[in-house]
Structure 1
Amino acid sequence: MAFSLSSCLYHENLFCKVRGSFDISLSTCSILNLCCISIDRYYAVCHPLTYRTKINHCIIVIMILLSWGVSALIGIGVIIAGLNNEECGERCLIDVLIENTIGPIFSFYLPVIIMLCIYLKIFLVAQRQARSIQNTKSGATVSKMERKATKTLAIVMGVFLLCWLPFFLCITILPFINNSVPVPVIETLNWLTLSNSMLNPFIYAFFYSWFRAAFRIIISGKIIQGDFTNTKLP
């Protein structure tokens, strides 16, 4: 926070650009991790019988490496583009494309489209599964399950879009308005995106008892006292 309020807010030296690169890389990785989680949920809900074979240790490692690798490439690409801007009399076209088009597409727009499609599919499958068990549960219970599933997905994606969309829209339109957006506005939008990482644990804890149980295991230190691989959470 102190660094954001310092001279980096108005003057971009090399150290500030490195800070910006880490900011972009970590934020991108956060979004890509959410995308990977949505893929995991898709197989867990839509293909439960083949889940263990589809989402194995090898696939998980690949998804983690891809998330961090793509994030690092985008962060490095943006800082290189920023350094090239100093050599150009005016902003180079390729650097504008990297900073304001290609970067946001791979950091935000593409993962968001993937997540929206996956969660829509999950919701439709969950509805179909809820209807299929009407013979064993009352219609009111099924309706309640459907409403909860809808509310959970809507809140998770709604908060995510509310926090991230304004910043990326602002970054995308900057070249078309001659970078006339005040720097404090951009920094405020940036802090709004970071707040999503703070809000997510509260959202999951409110809706999922298994998340609360897992969080208690971690906070209490029990996670390092034994093997919880096969632990069944409520």
Structure 2
Amino acid sequence: MSLLKVTGLGKSFGGVKAVDGIDFELHAGELLALIGPNGAGKSTTFNMVNGQLQANSGSILLDGVELVGLQPREIWRLGVGRTFQIAETFASLTVVENVQMALLSADRKLFSFWRKAADYKRTQALDLLDKVGMAEQADRPCSVLAYGDVKRVELAIAMANAPKLLLMDEPTAGMAPKERNELMALTKKLVVERNMAVLFTEHSMDVVFAYADRMIVLARGRLIAQGRPEEIRAHPKVQEVYFGSGKTFEKERKQMESV
């Protein structure tokens, strides 16, 4: 049984169909890449799964529970974590305090002025930081971290609610090649260890082809292909979209040819 099942998903803005009736499934223990040229509908699809946008049509089932109509906070509590293209952390807090705040949220605990967040589940927070290689920097403020380390902290934060499904929006944006590979290798390791699923968007084709178990490709709001990386690389519609429009997708074309 699929962990995530998307059926007939659609979203329009005025008269424009940003996403036009797409279907896909995602299983536990799997990394699924959502790719496509600019304007394909990737972000719209991603944000509908997370509840930041409400679908006009279709269904999004997580373990049989309908997500359409729910708010992001409700979806988080059902076991969906998320990282963002621009890392979201509290720069004024320490690394461990950032994770502790996420644990407070996951446990529905209100912050009280007489009880410091630093007293709450520090051991659990440190364990999460150890999983992402950041335990030794636990007491440093996030404001002084290198960007690649901030991304690791964000991943620990996203894991605070023990997600079944992790949504990663451009996880390697702004990172050097070595950092990109380290972050995705770490994500792959966590997927296997925790038997969770990951849906991620990504522009770096080297990352996509190296780490995705399967891929879905959108173009102009429609799903044009899905399958394993080797199938997508050889798919005629994908080749037409990426290779057949002059210089529009030149960057993606070069990346795909290099992997």
Give TM class, smaller chain. Answer: under 0.3
TM-score, reference length from structure 2? 0.21
More RCO (CA 8 Å, sep 6+): 2
Greater Rg over alpha carbons, structure: 1
1 or 2, which has the higher helix percentage?
1
TM-score, reference length from structure 1? 0.23
1 or 2, which has the higher strand percentage?
2
